[in-house]
Amino acid sequence: MSIFGRRKKKKLEEQQTIEQQAKEQKLNEEKQTKKEPEVSPAETQVNPQNVTSEEAEEIDRYNRGLEKSRRTFGQKLTALFTNFNGVDDDFYDDLEETLIGADVGFETAVQISDEVREEIEAKHESDQQVISNLIVAKLVSLYTRNGTTEDNHLVFATEGPSVFLFVGVNGVGKTTSIGKLANRFKKRGKKVLLAACDTFRAGAIEQLQEWGKRDGVPVVAGPEKSDPAAIVFDAVKKAKAENYDLVLVDTAGRLQNKVNLMKELDKMRRVITREIPHAPQEILLVLDATTGQNAMSQAKIFKETTDVTGIILTKLDGTAKGGIVLAIRNQLHLSVKYVGLGEQVDDLSPFSPKDFVDGLFSGFLETSK
User: Which residues belong to the annotated binding site for GTP?
Assistant: 168-175, 250-254, 314-317
Residue 183 · residue 346 · CB < 8 Å: yes
Q: H or E stretch including 305?
A: helix 293-305
Nearest CA-CA partner of 268 in 303, 309, 236, 220: 236
Nearest CA-CA partner of 322 in 368, 289, 366, 364: 289
DSSP annotation of 154 reads P
Nearest 5°: CA angle at 165, between 162 and 169?
165
Q: Which string of DSSP letters, residue by residue, matches 196-255? A: E---SSTTHHHHHHHHHHHHT--EE---TT--HHHHHHHHHHHHHHTT-SEEEEE--S--
Q: Which string of DSSP letters, residue by residue, matches 24-45? A: HHHHHHHHHHS-PPP--TTGGG
Pairing verdict, β 219-220 and 192-196: parallel
Amino acid, res. 20: Q
Residue list for the binding site? 168-175, 250-254, 314-317
Measured CA to CA, the distance from residue 132 to residue 10 in angstroms comes to 52
Q: H or E stretch including 163?
A: strand 162-167
Residues recorded for the chain: 369
Looking only at Cα atoms, what is the longest distance across the chain? 104
